[in-house]
Structure 1
Amino acid sequence: MKIDTKVIAHRGSKGTRPENTLVSFQAALNDGADGIETDVHFSKDHQLIIMHDETVDRTTNGHGLIYEKNLAEIKHLDAGMRFSEEFKGTQVPTLQEVVQLLIDNQFAGIFNLELKTNKIQYPGIEQAVDEYFSSIHYPFQLIYSSFNARSLEILTNIDPQAYRAKLFKTAAKQAKGLKRSRFIEDFHPDIRWVKRHPYFASAKHLRPWTVNTTEDMQYCFKKNMAAIITDFPARAVQLRAEMRGE
C-alpha cells in the first residue's frame, strides 16, 4: 500500500516519556518519527519556554503561570517526576535547547511549533520566534500552528513565506476562511472531528491530532493524509511499515 503519511511525535514521545522534554524528543527521534510537535510560551523575562499548559502545575513540581516566572525559576522545576521517578530531575527546555537537539541529531523532518496564544496572548511572541529562526540555520522543515487565528495572521505579516497551519476542534469554518485568505497552508484538526467530516479537505492538507489508537492510525494511513500527530510515534511507525508491506 502506498502511504506517504508522516508520523509527527506529539510533545515528543508523550505516551512513553515526560512530555515536552528533551528526553521525550530524543525518544521520538530514536523511534524514527518524521516530525516533532511542541508548544511555546513566553516567560516573565520573555524567554521561549517549551510546555503545553499555560501553568506549570500539571507537568512539574511547581505552581503558577509561566509568564509570571522567569527562566531561572522555571529551570529549577522538575518536569519528569510527575511522569515517573525514573525521570526525576528532568528540566523544562527552552525552544533554543529543543532546536539544538534537533540540529545535533541532524534532523531533517518536520518541526511543528504551536504558538500557545489561544488563552494568553503573549504580545510579541510571534516576532520573537520569527527573529530566532531567522538568526540560525536549521536542517528541518518548520511549520507554525496555532488555535489562535490572530497569531497566524501576525506571522503572515511578519514572514509571508512562513509555513502555517490552523489547529481546531470544531471551528472548521474559520479554518476554511483562513485558507481562502492565504493565512494558512494546512489544517490540523481533532481526529474525532475529521472522522465525522471525511470530505472536509484534501488528505494532503490534513495533519490530525491526537491519533493514538490503531484504528485511527489505520484510518489516516489508508486515506494517505499528510501526517498524523501521535503520542506513540514508535507504534505508528511500526504500523505504517506493516501496512506498506515492509
Structure 2
Amino acid sequence: MKIDTKIIAHRGSKGTRPENTLISFQAAIDDGCDGIETDVHFSKDRQFIIMHDETVDRTTNGSGLIYEKNLAELKHLDAGIRFSEEFKGTTIPTLQEVVNLLIQNNFHGIFNLELKTNKVQYPGIEQAVYEYFASIQYPFQLIYSSFNAHSLEILNNIDPQAYRAKLFKTAAKQAKTLKKSKLIEDFHPDIRWVKRHPFFASVKHLRPWTVNSTEDMQYCFKRNMAAIITDYPARAVQLREEMRGD
C-alpha cells in the first residue's frame, strides 16, 4: 500500500517518556519519527519555555504559571518525576535546547512549534520566535501552529513565507476562513472531529491529533493523510511499515 503519511511525535514520545523533554524528543527521533511537535511559552524573563500547559503543576514537582517564573526557577523543577521515578531529575527544556538537539541529530523532518497563546497571550512572542529562527540555520522544516487565529495572523504579517497551520477541536469554520484568506496552509484538527467530518478538506492538508489507537492510525494511513500527530511514534512507524508491506 502506498502511504506517504508522516509521523509527528506529539510532545516527543509522550506515551513512553516525560512529555516535552529532551529525553522524549530523542526517543522519538530514535524511533524513526518524521516530525516533532511541541509547545512554546514565555517565562517571566521572556525566555522560550517548552511545555504544554500554562502552569507547571501537571508535569513537574512545582506549581504556578510559567509566565510568573523566570528561567532559573523553572530549571530547578523536576519534569520527569511525575511520569516515572526512572526519569527523576529531568529538566524543562528551552526552545534553544530542543533546536540544538535536532541540529545535533541532523534532523531533516518537520518541527511543528505550537504557539500557546490561546489562554495566555504572551505579547510579542510571535515576533521573538520569528527573530530567533531568522538568526540561525537549521536542517528541519519549520511549521507554526496555534489554536489562536490572531497569532497566525501576526506571523503572516511578520513573515508571509512562514508555514502555518490551524489547530482546532470543532472550530472548522474559522479554520476554513483562514485557509481561504491564505493565512494558513494546513489544518491540524482533533482526530475525533475528522472522523465525524471525513469530507472537510483534502487529506493532503490534514495532520490530525492525537492519533494513538491502531484503528485511528489505520484510518489516517489508508486515506494517505499528510501526517498524524501521535504520542506513540514507534508504534505508528511499525504499523506504517506493516501496511506498506516494507
TM over 0.5: yes
User: Which residue of the partner structure matches residue 236 of structure 1?
Assistant: 236
Alignment length (residue pairs): 246
Secondary structure in 1 aligned to 2:86? helix
User: Which residue of the partner structure matches residue 245 of structure 1?
Assistant: 245
Hey, what's the Cα distance between the residues in 2 that align with 1:183 and 1:150?
10
| Deviation per residue, 1:119-169 (Å, 9 max, x gap) | 000000000100000000000000000000000000000000000000000
User: Which residue of the partner structure matches residue 165 of structure 1?
Assistant: 165
Aligned AA (1:201): A
Alignment map for 1:218-229 (pairs within 5 Å): 218-229=218-229
Alignment map for 1:59-74 (pairs within 5 Å): 59-74=59-74
Percent identity of paired positions between Structure 1 and Structure 2? 87
User: Which residue of the partner structure matches residue 199 of structure 1?
Assistant: 199
Hey, what's the Cα distance between the residues in 1 that align with 2:30 and 2:90?
18
User: Which residue of the partner structure matches residue 143 of structure 1?
Assistant: 143
Shift of 1:108: 0.1
Hey, what's the Cα distance between the residues in 1 that align with 2:63 and 2:128?
25
Aligned AA (1:115): L
Hey, what's the Cα distance between the residues in 2 that align with 1:203 and 1:127?
31
Aligned AA (1:55): T
Hey, what's the Cα distance between the residues in 2 that align with 1:132 and 1:61?
30
User: Which residue of the partner structure matches residue 53 of structure 1?
Assistant: 53
Shift of 1:73: 0.2
| Deviation per residue, 1:75-108 (Å, 9 max, x gap) | 0000000000000000000000000000000000
Hey, what's the Cα distance between the residues in 1 that align with 2:46 and 2:241?
42
User: Which residue of the partner structure matches residue 122 of structure 1?
Assistant: 122
Shift of 1:43: 0.2
| Deviation per residue, 1:152-204 (Å, 9 max, x gap) | 00000000000000000000000000000110000000000000000000000
Hey, what's the Cα distance between the residues in 2 that align with 1:26 and 1:52?
18
Shift of 1:236: 0.1
The reply on whether 1:98 has 2:98 as its aligned counterpart is: yes
The reply on whether 1:33 has 2:33 as its aligned counterpart is: yes
Hey, what's the Cα distance between the residues in 2 that align with 1:128 and 1:50?
15
Root-mean-square deviation (CA, aligned residues, Å) is 0.2
Hey, what's the Cα distance between the residues in 2 that align with 1:206 and 1:134?
27
Secondary structure in 1 aligned to 2:29? helix
Secondary structure in 1 aligned to 2:123? coil
Hey, what's the Cα distance between the residues in 2 that align with 1:73 and 1:16?
26
Aligned AA (1:94): T
| Deviation per residue, 1:205-239 (Å, 9 max, x gap) | 00000000000000000000000000000000000
List structure 1 runs of 4+ shifted beyond 3 angstroms: none
TM-score (norm 2): 1.00
Secondary structure in 1 aligned to 2:218? helix
List gaps (5 residues or longer) in structure 2: none
Shift of 1:22: 0.1
Hey, what's the Cα distance between the residues in 1 that align with 2:141 and 2:97?
17
Hey, what's the Cα distance between the residues in 2 that align with 1:135 and 1:149?
25
Hey, what's the Cα distance between the residues in 2 that align with 1:33 and 1:175?
27
